[in-house]
């Protein structure tokens, strides 16, 4: 955890330094303006820490304000760095072409100020668009026919939400939009595959009430994601229970007498020095009766030899990168990145793009989703 935080701030601090150098090269501001800019950039870099500290001390209004300003700035900065690097590449290519052609191509090079403004406009434009995309939830459908589903059970509809990140940004209004889609899907079972909760704030009564109103006939089940541990596992489990979810932590639940749901904890448990982590295979061995088996697991990682013990794995965690082109990075870390993947022994893995957002309330080329899984007898 400490290594992750250190790496994050080294990279994020580097982005802020890059922005400072770019604005200084573009406009050569005076000393006073540069000092003010440095102060603002340091505040921007420290925004995530300010948010978490404010939550810890119950300063919810301050946490919400800083989170909106700080995380929108984070999205703008990250996209600015990408677009500015592209303009740097363009300048380099023009320079190299001039050397090869032995001619002055300066007419094809806008000023540093113009290139800076192009990058700013591009990044702000994407963030504005992405803030709308983050609220447009798509419904993804997965249909499975299996001889393991008794004909008497008929169709069983399972709706998956993942990575909702209820906290300082995803609150009552945004959650209501997500749950509206869930209601329209009319689930028999609702499952959350981790990161239902994001932060440490205590003002969650309204979110709990909204979630309690969703009452599928066979119940609601949830597994932990890494953010449940960041927020405090006891706090997170209490939120699940108050929201009428049944947490599955190395346990198996049978629904409709036809489907076994096996749930495992996120490996973040180990980072906090906690015990009780069990392997997927061990949990799956606890189900008997040859029923259709679904493994609920936050991270889209398939444990060796586990596919033969389940029929479907539902995961999330990746957000499909949330903001392109950062999906290129998350894809390197999690090759099973988004969508459906056929595994060994006929098992299927579905990786959700996530229903909410982490950090910036922005998505670009990675729209949020709820997933509707229809299980039917052959």
> pLDDT value at position 53?
87
How is residue 126 written in tokens? 């994407």
Last residue of a domain, one of 117, 133, 149: 133
Q: Are residues 8 and 116 in the same domain?
A: yes
The low-confidence residues of the chain, meaning pLDDT below 70, are 1-2, 200-202
Q: Are residues 183 and 292 in the same domain?
A: yes
Q: Are residues 248 and 356 in the same domain?
A: yes
Neighbours of 247 (CB within 10 A): 18
Tell me the backbone φ, ψ of residue 348, rounded to 5 degrees.
-125, 140
> pLDDT value at position 144?
97
Q: Are residues 261 and 181 in the same domain?
A: yes
Task: Output the domain CATH number for residue 315.
Answer: 3.60.21.10
> pLDDT value at position 316?
98
Q: Are residues 82 and 169 in the same domain?
A: no
Q: Are residues 291 and 231 in the same domain?
A: yes
Last residue of a domain, one of 133, 153, 171: 133
Q: How far is it between the farthest Cα atoms of the chain?
A: 80
Q: Are residues 364 and 222 in the same domain?
A: yes
Q: Are strands 259-263 and 292-296 parallel, antiparallel or unpaired?
A: parallel
Last residue of a domain, one of 101, 133, 165: 133
Per-position DSSP letters for 137-166, written without gaps between them: -EEEEEEEEETTS-GGG--EEEEEE----B
Which structural domain range is residue 150 located in?
A: 139-377
- Rounded to two decimals, what is the model's pTM? 0.92
Alpha-carbon distance of 59 to 350, in angstroms, equals 38
Burial of 275 (0-12, 13-18, 19+ CB in 10 A): exposed
User: 192: left (phi > 0), else alpha (psi -120 to 50), else beta?
Assistant: beta
Q: Are residues 239 and 118 in the same domain?
A: no
Q: Are residues 83 and 147 in the same domain?
A: no
> Alpha-carbon torsion 353, 83, 8, 64, what sign?
negative
Number of domains in the chain: 2
Q: Are residues 299 and 362 in the same domain?
A: yes
Q: Are residues 233 and 348 in the same domain?
A: yes
The total number of residues written for the chain in this structure: 378
> In DSSP terms, which residues pair with 193 in a beta bridge?
223
> pLDDT value at position 370?
98
Alpha-carbon distance of 149 to 155, in angstroms, equals 8
> pLDDT value at position 277?
86
Q: Are residues 13 and 56 in the same domain?
A: yes
């Amino acid at each position: 955890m400490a290594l992750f935080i250190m790496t994050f701030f080294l990279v994020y601090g580097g982005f802020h330094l890059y922005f400072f150098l770019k604005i200084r090269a573009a406009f050569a501001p005076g000393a006073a303006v540069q000092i003010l800019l440095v102060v603002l950039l340091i505040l921007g870099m420290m925004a995530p820490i300010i948010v978490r500290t404010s939550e810890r001390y119950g300063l919810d209004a301050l946490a919400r304000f800083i989170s909106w300003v700080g995380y929108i700035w984070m999205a703008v900065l990250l996209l600015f760095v990408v677009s500015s690097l592209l303009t740097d590449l363009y300048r380099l290519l023009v320079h190299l072409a001039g050397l090869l052609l032995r001619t002055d191509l300066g007419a094809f090079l806008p000023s540093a100020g113009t290139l800076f403004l192009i990058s700013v406009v591009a990044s702000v434009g994407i963030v504005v668009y992405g803030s709308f995309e983050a609220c447009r939830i798509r419904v993804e459908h997965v249909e499975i026919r299996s001889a393991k589903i008794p004909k008497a059970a008929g169709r069983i509809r399972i709706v998956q939400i993942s990575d909702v990140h209820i906290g300082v940004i995803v609150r009552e209004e945004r959650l209501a939009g997500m749950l509206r889609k869930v209601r329209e899907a009319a689930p028999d079972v609702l499952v959350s595959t981790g990161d239902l909760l994001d932060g440490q704030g205590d003002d969650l009564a309204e979110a709990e009430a909204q979630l309690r109103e969703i009452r599928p006939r066979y119940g609601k089940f949830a597994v932990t994601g890494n953010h449940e541990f960041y927020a405090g596992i006891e706090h997170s489990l209490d939120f699940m229970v108050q929201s009428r979810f049944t947490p599955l932590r190395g346990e198996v639940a049978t629904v409709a007498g036809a489907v076994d749901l096996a749930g495992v904890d996120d490996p973040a448990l180990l980072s906090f020095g906690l015990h009780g982590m069990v392997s997927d295979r061990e949990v799956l061995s606890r189900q008997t009766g040859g029923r259709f088996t679904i493994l609920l697991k936050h991270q889209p990682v398939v444990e060796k030899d586990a596919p033969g013990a389940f029929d479907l794995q539902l995961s999330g965690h990746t957000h499909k990168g949330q903001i392109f082109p950062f999906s290129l990075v998350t894809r390197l870390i999690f090759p099973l990145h988004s969508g459906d993947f056929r595994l060994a022994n006929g098992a299927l893995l579905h990786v959700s793009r996530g229903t909410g957002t982490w950090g910036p309330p922005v998505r670009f080329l990675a729209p949020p989703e709820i997933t509707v899984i229809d299980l039917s007898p052959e």
